[in-house]
Structures are given as C-alpha cells and as structure tokens.
Chains A and B, each alone.
Chain A
Amino acid sequence: MPDDAKLLDALRTRSPAAFQELFDLYSDRIFRLAVSLVADEMEAEEIVQEVFVRFFEKIDQFEGRSNIGTWLYRAAHNASIDILRTRKKAQTSVEIDAQEIELPMPANFSAWREVPDDAFDQNELKTQLNQAMNKMPKTLSSVFLMRDIEEYSTQQTAEILNISPGAVKVRLHRARLLLREYLAQYFSETV
C-alpha cells in the first residue's frame, strides 16, 4: 500500500490534484472488490461513490496510523455485505463459513491451451473470468481478489476483510481450486 501521509495532508487542503490521485489510486480497486461481491456494476459504482463521500467526511479526523487503502477497502467490503444481506437469495452464501466448504478436488486434468491474443478472444476470456468469479461463494471471491489479483499480503487482506490470516489462507486455497475447476473446461477445449 502506498505511503499515505503526503496524500492525506494534500487532501486536507482540498487539493484537486490530491483528489485526482486518490480517485486514480482507489476507484477501480474499490469497484473491483464491490463488483466481485455484489456482481452488479451499477451497485458497485454506487458503493464507490458512497465510500468516497464517507471518506471525505472523515478526512479531518482520519488518524495518521490508519491506512487510506485499508479504510476504503473495508468500507467497500462492509457496504457490499450490507447489500448482499438485503438480497434474500445471496444471504445464504454470504453467511457460509468458507472453512465449512469442502475442499474442491480437481476433476479435469487436461492441460490448458494458450490464450489467443486477438481482441475477440480477449473479450471472451474476460467474460469467462468474470463469470467464474461470480459463481464463487462471496467469502472466497473477495479473498481471491485481494490476494491474487490486487496482490495484497495475507495480513493486509485479513485486516481489510476482518478475518484471521489463517482464514485468508484457507479461503484462498479453496478459491484457487474452485476457479481452476470452473475454468478448466473452457481452457482445455481445443481451438
């Protein structure tokens, strides 16, 4: 995570350049976390807006030892969970303890093909990746996103998602195995 002290000072002077930096650093990252949980782009954008506005209201009270990214991510995670809890169907998957999900055992052992680099296949690939993420239990997709896509450490991910480092490791392992299995058929098909 970047050093926030200078950015925070500049934000407190309401510098437009500091706002630009904040937005560029975190808007898409918050969006990705939110959309991985709520699986709806418009709702994820509303979460980005809500989280930034709440942060603006707290800038002057924000303590130096707090990390801006951690605060924003945690707020986005909590806002996303709130939305999921209002959806009756999703409520079950939110509340499943990931450690109770049976370890997914691999069943497809075909080697994966290389990804073609033309635009059509790139779009198809992104669709496949997004669909696989959306199929996963939310407790797993959020950990996979933070660890393997955003490349945060186990400890940072644990702080953001308010779970133990051990739970991060367990969920990451299950997420990887599940995603590999979801995508195996697509990638093992011959071109």
Chain B
Amino acid sequence: MECHDLVKYLSDYIESDLDEELIGEAQAHLATCHDCRVVLDSTQQMIFLYREQGKRSIPAQRRQKLFNQLQNIFLEKDNSSQ
C-alpha cells in the first residue's frame, strides 16, 4: 500500500470497515510512513475534538426565550383544539 491508497481508505480504516487484508496492508504502511501516521492521528484527534468541543448550542438567554415561545404555542394548540 502507498500513501495515496492509505488516504483513499482512511475513513474506512478509522471505521474498521475494511477487509482483513487491507487492514494488514494499511498497518504495514503506517508502521513505516511518518506522514500517513500524522494524517491518521490528526484526523482521529480532529473527530474527537469536534465531538467534545464542537457541539454548538443555542445561546442560553435566547434558548430560554425560544423555550417559552414554543411552550406557549404548544399549550395554545391544546386550548384551540378543545
């Protein structure tokens, strides 16, 4: 396996979605290729960072306002349907 193959299979390798032969070839390549190890490690680090730090939320003050507005609409629909 060469670098461009490793890049091509990178996501499948991360997902463990490769057959055993390709996993073996990828591991053999990674054992000798610094650049591909960096690409693999940094891609996994990036995914971890987004999972831990990349979850944007509605800003707290506006979230409460939105909650109140939607709750009123939700409960009004009850009243209007009776």
Contact = CB atoms under 8 A, between A and B. Distances in A.
A53 interface: yes
Contacts of A23: 67, 70-71
A45 B66 CA distance: 8
B73 interface: yes
A38 interface: no
Contacts of B50: 129, 144, 148-149, 179
A8 to B, nearest CB: 14
Contacts of B67: 23, 27
B39 A14 contact: no
The binding surface of chain B is classed by DSSP as helix
A116 B54 CA distance: 16
Given A19-B71, A23-B67, A125-B49, A35 B56 contact: yes
Contacts, number: 115
A16 B75 contact: yes
Interface in B21-47: 34-35, 38-39, 41-43, 45-47
A63 interface: no
- Indicate the size class of the contact surface on chain A: 35 or more
Contact of A115 (B4, B49, B58): B49
Contacts of A56: 73-74, 77
A52 B70 contact: yes
Given A56-B74, A112-B41, A112-B42, A106 B35 contact: yes
B58 to A, nearest CB: 5
Nearest to A144: B50
A73 interface: no
Interface in A3-31: 14, 16, 19, 23, 27-28, 31
Given A148-B50, A187-B42, A176 B11 contact: yes
Interface of B: 4, 7-8, 10-12, 14, 34-35, 38-39, 41-43, 45-47, 49-51, 53-59, 62-63, 66-67, 69-71, 73-75, 77-78
Q: Which 10 A-B pairs have the closest CB atoms?
A: A14-B78, A173-B11, A109-B35, A112-B42, A28-B57, A129-B54, A106-B39, A109-B38, A31-B58, A19-B74
8 contacts: A19-B75, A27-B63, A28-B56, A32-B56, A49-B66, A110-B38, A111-B38, A148-B50
